[in-house]
Amino acid sequence: MQVEQRVLDGTGEWTAASRELRGVRAHLVFAFGGRRILADRKIYDRLRATYPAARILMASSAGEFSDTDVLDEKLVVTAVALEKTRLSSAVLPIGNQLESYAVGKELALRLKADRLSHVFVLSDGQRVNGTELSRGFNEVLPADVRMTGGLAADGQRFEKTLVGLSEYPAEGRVAAIGFYGKNFVTGFGTCGGWTPNDVEHTITSSDGSILFKLDDMPALDVYREFIGRDTECTPATCLGYPLWVKIPGRETPVVRSVLGIETGTKSLVFAGDVPTGSQARLMYTRPGDLIRGAETAATSANIQSGAELAICISCVGRRLVLGSTVGDELTTIRRTLGTSSMIAGFYSYGELAPNGHERACQLHNQTMTITTFAET
């Protein structure tokens, strides 16, 4: 495997490069950047001209990673040349959250084939229910095939997110890459660093990813009371207070982030399911706890053969908490993985990965999720 990383600015000019690799040799390109730069068609045209033979996987972000730097409104382009691995890819439209399960299942069916080793997925961050998307993939993929990825973002605007697979990026897309062959090696790790509040609530009214009531009180009122009534309750402020959810019948709790607020019904829209009857606690953290969480994720994702590429997807809510220390997440990952790995990724609206030692993929929020790649 050979890896190259460049940064493309809004004028279509390359502003940085490392590990030179001739564009015509690239088989796969990851391109993460601000929504406005992805919406500019001349940027994609420039990218296609540079890597004419590659599959180009793109997603809008809330901050993109170039090694240990966090950038804004740039396009971080990471090109990969594979020597022993075959690729396949598929992309489907998604109109709303109700289509998530069917889209995940159909994409998995399109990729399922002999020697499938790993699936990497990028999805629209606002029209999808990440829980149901994962369930669709999990139902089809063999038990020994792991899936990772994340949900595209739009900074703190929450207006629209873009995903593209070898085409102009657009709203309402879910794209997947399948990696095939015994020489392709992956690792993964996911960790948060958040602490649940002592007050436990019961979800008494919800519908999929929409939370109406906690302890029979409007969910928005509960959040306002916790955050402070002098603070405006917006999706951006709520990101700093994710929800710990213990779903009946499941051993491991999940964390959910607010993606939208419906003031008329005083309800909150999350990236994944918040089932009625679940126990829930609001969460809080400190920058140091998040950085230690990133270190834990990197330790889990490290592979014995040595990772050649690490795709890091971290929730935008973490960026809000980290503030001026935002780069410390990546510096910690670099120290843990060593100097041989190329780091790429972005701040997202949700992360996709198995939880701990479980093979089935799940939606995560407020985590640092890392996927490492290498060929042996």
Instruction: Let me know: does 170 contact 161? Beta carbons within 8 Å.
Output: no
Q: 254 pLDDT band (50/70/90 cuts)?
A: confident
Q: pLDDT (tens digit, 9 = 90+) per residue, 191-222?
A: 999 999 999 999 999 999 999 999 999 999 99
User: Which amino acid, residue 258?
Assistant: V
User: Which token pair is 221?
Assistant: 């009122």
The stretch 9-35 carries a mean pLDDT of 80
Count of CB atoms within 10 A of residue 376's CB?
12
153 lies in which domain range?
A: 2-191+288-375
Q: Is residue 32 domain-shared with residue 146, that is, in the same domain?
A: yes
Q: Is residue 123 domain-shared with residue 252, that is, in the same domain?
A: no
- In eight-state DSSP terms, residue 325 is G
pLDDT: which is higher, 271 or 330: 330
Q: Is residue 51 domain-shared with residue 158, that is, in the same domain?
A: yes
Instruction: Let me know: does 352 contact 148? Beta carbons within 8 Å.
Output: yes
Instruction: Let me know: does 27 contact 78? Beta carbons within 8 Å.
Output: no
pTM: 0.90
The stretch 35-48 carries a mean pLDDT of 94
Q: 331 pLDDT band (50/70/90 cuts)?
A: very high
Q: Is residue 180 domain-shared with residue 262, that is, in the same domain?
A: no
Exposed (0-12), middle (13-18) or buried (19+): which is 198, by Cβ within 10 Å? exposed
Q: Is residue 148 domain-shared with residue 256, that is, in the same domain?
A: no
Instruction: Let me know: does 350 contact 257? Beta carbons within 8 Å.
Output: yes
The stretch 121-146 carries a mean pLDDT of 95
* Residues 6+ positions from 349 with CB-CB distance below 8 Å: 62, 125, 126, 151, 152, 153, 154, 161, 257, 259, 271, 315, 316
What's the rounded Cα separation, in Å, for the pair 195 and 199? 12
Place of tokens 């029979």: 216
Q: Is residue 50 domain-shared with residue 66, that is, in the same domain?
A: yes
Of 251, 283, 315, the residue at which a domain comes to its end is 283
Instruction: Let me know: does 351 contact 191? Beta carbons within 8 Å.
Output: no
Q: Which helix (H) or strand (E) holds 284?
A: strand 279-284
pLDDT of residue 279: 97
* CA–CA distances in Å: residue 105 to residues 169, 209, 363: 22, 19, 15
pLDDT of residue 330: 95
Q: Is residue 120 domain-shared with residue 225, that is, in the same domain?
A: no
Q: pLDDT (tens digit, 9 = 90+) per residue, 238-250?
A: 888 899 999 998 8
Place of tokens 């834990």: 296
Q: pLDDT (tens digit, 9 = 90+) per residue, 45-58?
A: 999 999 999 999 99
Provide the number of structural domains found in the chain. Answer: 2
* Residues 6+ positions from 274 with CB-CB distance below 8 Å: 203, 206, 209, 210, 211, 243, 245, 256, 280
The fraction of the chain above a pLDDT of 90, given in percent, is 78
